[in-house]
C-alpha cells in the first residue's frame, strides 16, 4: 500500500510539474476592486428575465436581429468541438441557420443583408441571404491566424472591426484559463476593408481582447479587455486618429460583450464579478503556475453572477442590473437591446435571457 501511495504521489507531482511548465505567466498588480455602491449598488433586476431555449446548445455569445425581427446567435456544444449559428424566428422557432462546425462568437449584418460572422474555424466570414459562405479573412496581414476571433462591429462606411483573442490556440475552457492566468498581450484589434479586402492591425497585443463596438458618431471604437477589467478606446478620426486610450478602467467584474443603445450609450455585459483570490495571486507568477497545474476539479470556479452595466459616452456608469445569485442569469457576457428588451447570453449559458426594460 505504501508503495502504491508513493507511486501515486510521484505521478501527481510529475503532473503538477508538467502542467506548471505549460504556463508562462507575467506578474500583474490589479487595482483594488471597487465597491458595489451608487450606480453599481446590488439589486435583483435580472431575476425577472425569462429564458429562451437554444435546443441544447451553449454559449450565445453574440446576438443580432435582422430587419424582420428574427434573432441570430452563435452557439457551441459542451466541449467547444462543434458549433452552429441559430436563428430564432419571431414565432420562437429555433432553426439551424449555418452549420459552422465551430463557435461563432461575433455577428453583425452589413448593409447588403449579409451576416458577417467570426468563426473559430474559418475566421471572418460573410453569409449571404441565400446562405452562400465566403471567407473574408483567416489571418492578419502578418500571417497570424484568427483562432479565437471574438467581438465584431461594422461602421457606417462598411468597414468591419473585430478582435482576436489569440493566434496561438483555438478556444476551450482550459486554454481560456491559461490566457487569464498568463496575462500576456496576444491577439489584437483589426479592421477589414470590404472594398480592398485588406486586413489591418489597429492594436497589436491585447489582454483577452473581447467585445467591439463603433461609437454613434463613428469617431472611435471601443474594445473590451477582459482580464484587465477595462475597456479601451481606439480613435478613428480627429487629432487622435490611430491612438489608443482607456475608456473605463478597474471594473467590478470580467467585462465581455459590449453593444450600443440608440442614445449613444453602451450596454456592457460581464461573465462574472471579480475574484479576490485571483487578484491576490496575479502578482505571484510561481503561485499562478501552481494553481494552473492543479487538477481541473481543484481549479477555482467562476462564481455565478449576472451583471450588466449601462455606460455613458463619457465612460460613466449610469446604472447596473444584476442577478447576484446567478439563479436566472448566471452570466451576462453578451447583451443586446431590441424593442424594449435586453437579450442576454454568455460563454457557457444554455439559453438566452430576455429582460424587459
Grid coordinates given for 216: 454613434
Q: What is the pLDDT of residue 7?
A: 42
Q: What is the pLDDT of residue 19?
A: 57
Of the listed ranges 9-18, 104-113, 118-127, 314-323, the least confidently predicted one is 9-18
pTM of the predicted structure, to 2 decimals: 0.94
DSSP state of 34: P
Using the predicted structure, report yes or no on whether residue 6 has a pLDDT greater than 70.
no
Q: What is the pLDDT of residue 5?
A: 45
Using the predicted structure, report yes or no on whether residue 251 has a pLDDT greater than 50.
yes
What is the band of 34 on the pLDDT scale with cuts at 50, 70, 90? very high
Mean pLDDT score, 15-41: 85
Mean pLDDT score, 291-311: 90
Using the predicted structure, report yes or no on whether residue 12 has a pLDDT greater than 70.
no
- Across all residues in the chain, what is the average pLDDT? 93
Using the predicted structure, report yes or no on whether residue 18 has a pLDDT greater than 50.
no
Q: What is the pLDDT of residue 22?
A: 87
Give the up-direction half-sphere exposure of residue 272: CA atoms within 13 A in the CB hemisphere: 16
Domain boundaries, the chain: 35-356
Using the predicted structure, report yes or no on whether residue 124 has a pLDDT greater than 90.
yes
How confident is the model over 144-193, as pLDDT tens digits?
A: 999 999 999 999 999 999 999 999 999 998 999 999 999 999 999 999 99
| Secondary element (H or E) of residue 116 | strand 115-119
Q: What is the pLDDT of residue 297?
A: 79
Residue ranges of the alpha helices (H) in 66-172?
none
Sheet with 123-127, strands from edge to edge, namely 104-109, 115-119, 123-127, 133-137
How confident is the model over 80-94, as pLDDT tens digits?
A: 999 999 999 999 999
Q: What is the pLDDT of residue 301?
A: 80
Using the predicted structure, report yes or no on whether residue 300 has a pLDDT greater than 90.
no
**CATH class of the domain defined by 35-356:** mainly beta
Residues 106 and 74: their CA atoms lie apart, in Å, by 8
Q: What is the pLDDT of residue 302?
A: 85
Instruction: Show Cβ contacts of residue 262 under 8 Å, excluding neighbours closer than 6 positions.
Output: none
Q: What is the pLDDT of residue 15?
A: 41
Contact 279, 28 (CB under 8 A): no
Amino acid at each position: 500500500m505504501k508503495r502504491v501511495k508513493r507511486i501515486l504521489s510521484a505521478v501527481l507531482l510529475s503532473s503538477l510539474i508538467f502542467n506548471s511548465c505549460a504556463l508562462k505567466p507575467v506578474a500583474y498588480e490589479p487595482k483594488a476592486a471597487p465597491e458595489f455602491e451608487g450606480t453599481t449598488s446590488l439589486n435583483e433586476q435580472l431575476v425577472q428575465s425569462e429564458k429562451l431555449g437554444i435546443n441544447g446548445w451553449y454559449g450565445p455569445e453574440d446576438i443580432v436581429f435582422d430587419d424582420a425581427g428574427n434573432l441570430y446567435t452563435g452557439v457551441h456544444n459542451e466541449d467547444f468541438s462543434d458549433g452552429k449559428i441559430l436563428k430564432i424566428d419571431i414565432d420562437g422557432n429555433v432553426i439551424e441557420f449555418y452549420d459552422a462546425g465551430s463557435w461563432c462568437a461575433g455577428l453583425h449584418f452589413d448593409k447588403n443583408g449579409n451576416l458577417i460572422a467570426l468563426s473559430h474555424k474559418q475566421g471572418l466570414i460573410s453569409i449571404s441571404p441565400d446562405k452562400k459562405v465566403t471567407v473574408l479573412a483567416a489571418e492578419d496581414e502578418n500571417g497570424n491566424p484568427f483562432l479565437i476571433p471574438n467581438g465584431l462591429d461594422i461602421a457606417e462606411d462598411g468597414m468591419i472591426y473585430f478582435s482576436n483573442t489569440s493566434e496561438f490556440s483555438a478556444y476551450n475552457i482550459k486554454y481560456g484559463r491559461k490566457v487569464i492566468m498568463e496575462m500576456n498581450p496576444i491577439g489584437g484589434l483589426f479592421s477589414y476593408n470590404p472594398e480592398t479586402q485588406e486586413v489591418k492591425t489597429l492594436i497589436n497585443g491585447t489582454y483577452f481582447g473581447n467585445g467591439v463596438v463603433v461609437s454613434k458618431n463613428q469617431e472611435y471604437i471601443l474594445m473590451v479587455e477582459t482580464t484587465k477589467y477595462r475597456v479601451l478606446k481606439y480613435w478613428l478620426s480627429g487629432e487622435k486618429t490611430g491612438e489608443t486610450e482607456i475608456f473605463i478602467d478597474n471594473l467590478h467584474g470580467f467585462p465581455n460583450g459590449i453593444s450600443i443603445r440608440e442614445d449613444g450609450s453602451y450596454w456592457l455585459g460581464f461573465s462574472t464579478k471579480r475574484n479576490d483570490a485571483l487578484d491576490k495571486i496575479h502578482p505571484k507568477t510561481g503561485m499562478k503556475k501552481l494553481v494552473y497545474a492543479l487538477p481541473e476539479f481543484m481549479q477555482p470556479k467562476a462564481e455565478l453572477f449576472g451583471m450588466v452595466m449601462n455606460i455613458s459616452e463619457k465612460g460613466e456608469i449610469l446604472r447596473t442590473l444584476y442577478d447576484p445569485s446567478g439563479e436566472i442569469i448566471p452570466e451576462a457576457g453578451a447583451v443586446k437591446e431590441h424593442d424594449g428588451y435586453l437579450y442576454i447570453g454568455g460563454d457557457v449559458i444554455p439559453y438566452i435571457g430576455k429582460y424587459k426594460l
